[in-house]
Structure 1
Amino acid sequence: MGTSQKRQHGGGARRTADGGFSLVEVVVAMLLLMVISLAVVPLLITATASSADNRDLATANALANAEIAEIRARFPDSSTTTSCGSVLASAGGVDASTGLTTAYGFGACPAQYPGTVTVTVTVREEPGSPVLTSVPTKILVSTS
């Protein structure tokens, strides 16, 4: 036989000893996947809880800013006469769309007029619960 001739094997391709995964390898791989998954699950739970908290805070901030805009629209900084008493008579309440409770806090009326009074809108889930957000603004008042 010359060097140009190839040796032919009967019966097709040869089988090797490592042609697939054994049952032990599959079980070990599943065990490793389970351990890694158990390490990741607390992170997913924390991320989900943080996402819900952030959604609530964003809703509370939007509500507080809407209340501030309403107050600013009722008492514009213009030539209209705004009394400190009328600003102090403003009140919060429960927002129908979100169920959150708003409350207004007021600073002291100014000693001299015109001056400003600080109005703070505080948002809570319900009265007595922790404050979600608090947004202050100043309103120009011209009389007591």
Structure 2
Amino acid sequence: MNSTKKNFSFPPKGYFANTYYGLFNLHPSASVMDIRRTYRELSKLYHPDTTDLPLEEAKQKFQKLNEAYGILANPDRRSIYDLQIGYSRWNVIQSPYDFSLSEEEEDGMRSGYLDATDRPLSSGELFALLLMGSTIVGCMLLAITIAWLRTSAI
């Protein structure tokens, strides 16, 4: 288990300090997993039943935390929110190539996906698409065959 503990400094510093990302102490390019992990840690820290903070302060911070997570956990809402705060995922600069990596390490870092929803289809999803496509083609062939048989019977 990782023994390093995140330092949640409040108020956060930086350009995005007054945003939901600042509340989570994360950069807007943070992954969905980072957001979820940080939310769980902070929710344990600020939940009114488990914190040493005064009840009203804990309630306010916990509600703000839930509001932020509701926006950042939903990809559509997050994209809209990013535009509102002036952050664009299209302008993300990728780090330069590290020549010191071995081939095995390099293979694991070849993912160019910025977010978890932007990924190739799994084999199960491809199979489902194949079934749906073959069903549509089969229905069309059946309809054409029935129409041809009815017209030839007249």
Larger radius of gyration: 1
Query: More relative contact order in 1 or in 2 (CA 8 Å, sep 6+)?
Result: 1
**Structure 1 and Structure 2 fold alike (TM over 0.5):** no
TM-score, normalised on structure 2? 0.27
TM-score, normalised on structure 1? 0.29
Structure number with the higher strand fraction is 1
Structure number with the higher helix fraction is 2
